[in-house]
Chains A and B, each alone.
Chain A
Amino acid sequence: MSTKPKVVLVACGTAIATSTVVAKAIEEALKQAGIVASIRQCKAAEVPNYSKDADLVVTTTPVRTEKNIPVIQTLAFLTGVGKEAVIKQIIDVLKA
């Protein structure tokens, strides 16, 4: 296992509102799970550029990624629907 913290890229349309809420929620969920990760925010359109060194992309809008980086598209951190399942999915990807 590498000691370098995993990088989670959180994307939404404008990187003002939605991804801020999602990033904060993921940060708290990972802290509770004892996982150290670096969480970055960007606009959906910036994902191809910003995702190069990311281990996971979590997005609330459709995105295009260039490489084989896992992408989770979810509204769970905004609406609460399916939140536990998504947190588990994120943890599984980061522990892999």
Chain B
Amino acid sequence: MSIALGDMLVPEAICVQYPARDAREVIIHLGNLLYEAGYVKDTFVDAALAREAAMPTGLPLAGDDNAAMPHTDIEHVIRPGVALATLQRPVIFHNMVSPEEEVPVRLVFLLALDQPKSQIEMLQQVAGVLQDAQLVASLLAAKDKAEVRAILTDHETRTEHSLT
């Protein structure tokens, strides 16, 4: 893989067992961390909130827990990166494909993408994580940032081996 998800994760923007009360709070918090780390412009958080309201990104997964991958247009981004939050309690996002449906979410990937149709490896890896119920469960059980990174790095190593 040319771009590993572990490498795209912004270390300053990983939040473990974050006690968010709603989806808005997660997006604001992760967005601010990306902003402080220099990945996005000061317009990013508002743009991501507006996009989530108009075109939600909640994804019901195969396992017990669900995910969301908020993102927004490229003009709000300085350089590409991924922020990740695991939540203490689920918050309500809306289903991407049927927005009237509520999805309780405990895993959030906030994506900062700077080119249209790019970062495909990174996006495929996010999808790869979402499709692996065991991996989602272990991420949600992680107690700190180091554990989150170790789980993703280990997963990538195994994925690469299985491809060769």
Q: Which A residues form the contact surface with B (CB < 8 A)?
A: 13-18, 20-21, 24-25, 41, 44, 59-62, 73-75, 77-81
Question: With the chains together, A20 CA to B16 CA distance in Å?
Answer: 28
Main secondary structure of the interface of B (DSSP, over half): loop
Ordered by A's residue number, 9 sampled pairs between the chains whose C-beta atoms are within 8 Å are: A13-B57, A18-B96, A20-B119, A25-B127, A78-B59, A79-B61, A80-B127, A80-B132, A81-B61
Q: Which of B46-88 contact A (CB under 8 A)?
A: 51, 54-55, 57, 59-62, 69, 71-74
Within 8 Å of chain A (Cβ to Cβ): is B138? no
B contact residues around A61 at 8 Å (CB): 55, 96-97, 99
Query: Which residue from A21, A74, A75, A78 sits with its C-beta under 8 Å from B120?
Result: A21
Number of interface residues of B (CB under 8 A): 32
18 other contacts beyond A17-B71, A60-B96, with CB at 8 A cut-off?
A13-B51, A14-B71, A16-B74, A17-B111, A18-B57, A18-B96, A20-B119, A21-B120, A21-B123, A59-B97, A61-B55, A61-B96, A61-B99, A75-B59, A78-B59, A80-B132, A81-B60, A81-B62
